[in-house]
Amino acid sequence: MVIRAELVDGEGHPWSSEAELVADDSGAVDLAIQAPVKGSYRSAFAMGLLWSMTPAEKGATMYRPPAEFAPQSITLHLLQGGKEAASAQLQ
């Protein structure tokens, strides 16, 4: 399974990261103790999907927060077999 994180920064630039993980027999993954098989980062790290985000465009070099300290929305997508199985949004 792949978990992909996406956001749009305060200047309208998209950022993303992803981690391919192998679920245990019950279908669970724990990012705090499980390293991705491949993706944006290599070690087990609970917040890896957030700190490993990179800009999707060449023009963006630095993350810009939303204007006036507005909440930052991050969308998480769970992909199985290349298709979206679930998604959630964080602020």
77: containing domain? 2-90
Beta strands in 1-91 (DSSP E): 2-8, 14-20, 38-39, 54-55, 74-80, 83-90
Q: In whole angstroms, what is the distance from residue 4 CA to residue 76 CA? A: 6
CA–CA separation, 65 and 11 (whole Å): 8
Q: What is the CATH number of the domain that holds 66?
A: 2.60.40.2240
So what's the pLDDT on residue 59?
Answer: 80
Confidence of residue 27 (pLDDT cuts 50, 70, 90): confident
Q: What is the pTM of this model?
A: 0.91
Asked whether 39 and 18 are in contact (CB, 8 A), the reply is yes
Domain count, the chain: 1
